[in-house]
Each structure stands twice: as C-alpha cells, then as structure tokens.
Chains A and B, each alone.
Chain A
Amino acid sequence: MFQYDFMQHAFIAGTLVALMCGVIGVFVIARSLSFIAHTFSHIGFAGASFAVYVGMDPLGGLLLFTLLSALGIGQLGVKMFRRDASVSVVLSLFLGLGILFLSLSDKQANFTETILFGSVVGIDMQDVWQIVGLTAAVILILAAGYRWLKFDSFDQIGAEAAGLPIRWISIGFLLLMALAVSVTVQIVGALLVFALMTVPAAAARCFSQSIFGMIVISSILAVLGVWFGLSMSFYTNAPVSFFITSFEAAAYFIGIAYRYWLARRRVPGYQR
C-alpha cells in the first residue's frame, strides 16, 4: 500500500496527529476537558464551513473559530463549560451555524463528508507540511510548559498555592487544544476528534501509574490505532475512523479488564 503517494501522506500525517493527541489527551483527561474537546470539534466544523462559504482555506476557518472559542472559554472560566447544559448549548449552536454556512455555500455534499468524517486519502504534500508545522508547535509548547501543566492538571490546589498562574495555564492549554483539534479534524473528522484525543489516554491510565508512562502508552496506542485504521481501511474499503475507534475502544476495555485483574490479584476476595 505504500506505493501510493496518498497512503504515504496519510501515514505521515496520521502518525503525527496521533502522537500529538496521545500526549495532549493525558492532560485533557486529567483536567476533565473531554467534552470541551468534543465541543471544539463542532466549533471547528462551523469554522470550516464558514471558511468555505467566504472562500477561505478550511484550516484557516477551523483555527479562527476554535482559537477564538478557546479564548472565550478561558476568559469565562472552564468550570462553566464543564456543565452539561453549557456544552449542549454551545455544541448545538455551532453545529447549527455550520449547517447554515454549508447551506449558503455551493460545496455542500463533498465538504460535509470530509469535515465531519475526515479524509485521509485526500491529504496532499502541502497538507502534510501544514500538519507537521502545527503538530511540532503543539508538542514543543507542551514540552516547554510540561512542568506547569503537570502541576496544574494533577494538583491544582497545590499549583495555586505555589503561586503558579493557573488562569493563564488554563487559557494556554485551551488554545493548544484548539490547535490540536483543528489539525485532527482533517484526519478523523469533527465527529471523532475526541475519540483520538481521549480514548488512548483513558486506556493508558489503566496500564500506568505515572504521568510519563501514561504519555508514552497513550501515544503508542494512538499511533497504533491510526496505523491499524489506515491499513484496514486500505484493504477493506471501510471508513478509517471506524477501525481507529474500534482499536482504541478495544485497548480501553482491555485496560479495564487488566486493572480489574490486578486489583483481584492484590486483594484476595476483591469484588467489583
């Protein structure tokens, strides 16, 4: 399958996006932001639709809408957006906006499918370079701010007590999430972004007791899931996203079973 340029591009882009999601996902889970990640993908859908409507590059629209939303959520406070009602309202509003922009433009059918479900086969070399640049930026910023982010994500009271600027860390992380979502939407689509951004990290939590271990396992699971999805999709013609989510879900359930088995082994008579 590697004789085809589109598969080479898909593997390069998919691997990078998976690595990024594997790393950032650990913090998304620790900060309980899974549904904000999901909301970002719908905001991104509206942004991409808007871009198409006004004749911009869809990635530009994705970035514009998600980054502005990250700033807005950061200013208003993440707690408010963790509430079910707030997430439902914002998510539906932007989904509606996306549909409105699509109905006003003339590229409806093709584009809707691409942005909602992703299109790995349509990635050209220019897209790959865009993804390389954005992924590298996200991973470098995460590496530089790793200690602050780790402190704030796993011991927020302690971080505040130590005088860390927790509000700015929160806004900075939301902006990084917005960037990551914008890149990932192009591979797995708006509907499944949060699968790649949260399930590998949730599964990794079952296998590791350290943050670094979680990051490594989460990245490996995300990359393996994307490779599995691309390969299976190439040979079966079924959607890539289906195979990716199936792989990650299987990893998560195996992780749960592993943790259950460990607990039973440690405590005789353990029942759950």
Chain B
Amino acid sequence: MLRHIRVNDLQVSFNGEEILNHVSFDVAGGEMFAIIGPNGAGKSTLLKVILGLIKPLGGKVSFENDNRKTVIGYVPQSRTIDEETPILAKDFVSLGLPARAVPWLSARERVTVQKAMMMTECLHLADKPIGKLSGGERQRIFIAQAMVRQPDVLLLDESTANLDPNAQEQMMQLVQRLCRKHGITVIFISHDLHVVKEYADRVLFMSRGHYEIGNSDEVLNGKATEWLYHATDEEKPKTIGLFREPAGQLTDHLF
C-alpha cells in the first residue's frame, strides 16, 4: 500500500519563465488532496511532474510504497472526443491497459477492463460508442481507463469542469468511493470551491509562486481565495497568497 507521496523542492521553468518555484508538500496514502489556484499557477504542470511526464529542473517526487512500484492513473484535462469517434466505451477503457505486441485482448485483460468499469460504475455503457455518451458518462469512462492499470494514485485534472452540478456531484462521489473503499490516493485540480470544500481532506493553494497547504476550511475561508475567485479584475490585488504564520495560523497576503 502507498504510504505517502513526497514532493520536495520542485522547480520547473519553461522558456525562462518560472512555473513551479520550490514547491514542497506531502500527500498521505488514501487521502483526497485538492489543488486550487488561478489559471497559469502551474497546477497541471505539477500533476505532470508527479506523473513523470515533465522533468523538473530541481527537486524530486518520491513515493513510499510497501510492496510494489507505485502505479499512477491520470485523467488529463481538455480531452475532446468527436461524436463520430468509432470506438466503443469498453474498447476505449482497454486502451489504458499496458500494451502488448498482439492486437487482441487476453481473457484476463477483458476481466481487468470489466472490473475497472464496475469500479467506476459504467459497465452498463460498455457497448455504447464513446462519442454518443454524455459529458458525465465520458468522464466515468476516462476514469475507468485510468483505473485499468490498478493505480495507487489517481490524478484528476479538472475532471468535473463542464459538467452540470448533478453530474459533478455524482462524479466526485464516485471518486470519493474509489478513495475510501479501495484506498486510492486522489490528487485533483478543481476551480469549484464547493467541490473542494465538500470532498478534499486537504488543499494546496497555488498562486504566482506562493504555495500553502491546509485543511479545506482553513484555505477556503481565507481572503486570498475570496479575492482569487470572486473579485473583479480591477478589484484584485497584483499578487495574492496564503502564508502560514509561525504560530501555525494561515494568513492572507495581498500585495
């Protein structure tokens, strides 16, 4: 079982622009961990570094796992599926299986796909073309595809964006069940503070090189979050951030 993920002093730059500036935090095994912050704060980049798709300039991500190499499932943002895409939901899920040099699936692989679809409660969609599914149903299929590798960690990049409130609620309840029932560590990015408040055990706040972690009440009730999500552009200060005082209290810093 995964004990924890340790992100230590990560630094990432693109074309000379600093995206991640000495970020450090721990995520406990089986935790629902949210990342919030304005666009361009480096949230997706952080997930890609954890996943190993982006190599950091400095720092590292380590996983402490009891008995196996940590497997990560990732559901990326902005995945567009054409309505005419000729692929059944079960075939789409099977794309996520570790590839072998044979075109057909083994009986064991079929069972794995079926299990992943059962866990994500979308087995009834198996024989439907993915292009014909609703946004919420597609998100379930995307999560099922990430689940076929039986991951220890699930990274969700704005998976509930563009869903109606009802579908959003159902999606997050599903993710929470995966986390609580199967012990999967979930790290998710969201701009929806209601979702974060309701489902996250802890929250990482990121904004222009400032990072702070706290429980959802601590982070979301601060003025920084209020400015970040509710103020108009004219009202917003140049930089906003959360800092932890030596006494342990989170305070807002507006510049």
Contact = CB atoms under 8 A, between A and B. Distances in A.
B76 A210 contact: no
Contacts of A272: none
B129 interface: yes
B76 A157 contact: yes
Contacts of B84: 205
Interface residues on A, range: 20 to 34
Contacts of B99: 147-148, 151, 164
Q: Looking at chain B, what size class is its interface with the partner chain?
A: 20 to 34
Contacts of A159: 95
Nearest to B74: A161
A214 interface: yes
Q: Determine the main DSSP class of B at the interface with A.
A: loop
Contacts of A163: 51-53
A145 B101 contact: yes
Interface in B55-74: 74
Given A143-B103, A161-B53, A161-B76, A211 B91 contact: yes
Contacts of A148: 99
A157 B79 contact: yes
A205 B86 contact: yes
Most chain B C-beta atoms within 10 Å of own C-beta, residue among A146, A147, A161: A161
A158 B84 CA distance: 18
Interface in A190-215: 205, 208-214
Q: Interface centre among A143, A155, A208, A213, by most B CB within 10 Å?
A: A155
B144 to A, nearest CB: 12
Most B Cβ at <10 Å: residue of A148, A154, A163, A164? A154
16 contacts: A144-B102, A151-B95, A151-B96, A151-B99, A154-B87, A155-B145, A157-B78, A158-B95, A162-B74, A162-B96, A163-B51, A164-B99, A205-B84, A208-B86, A209-B87, A211-B86
Interface of A: 143-148, 150-151, 154-155, 157-164, 205, 208-214
Interface of B: 51-53, 74-76, 78-79, 81, 84-88, 91-92, 95-97, 99-103, 129, 142, 145
The 8 residue pairs across chains A and B that have the minimum distance between CB atoms: A146-B103, A147-B99, A209-B129, A151-B95, A144-B101, A161-B74, A161-B76, A157-B79
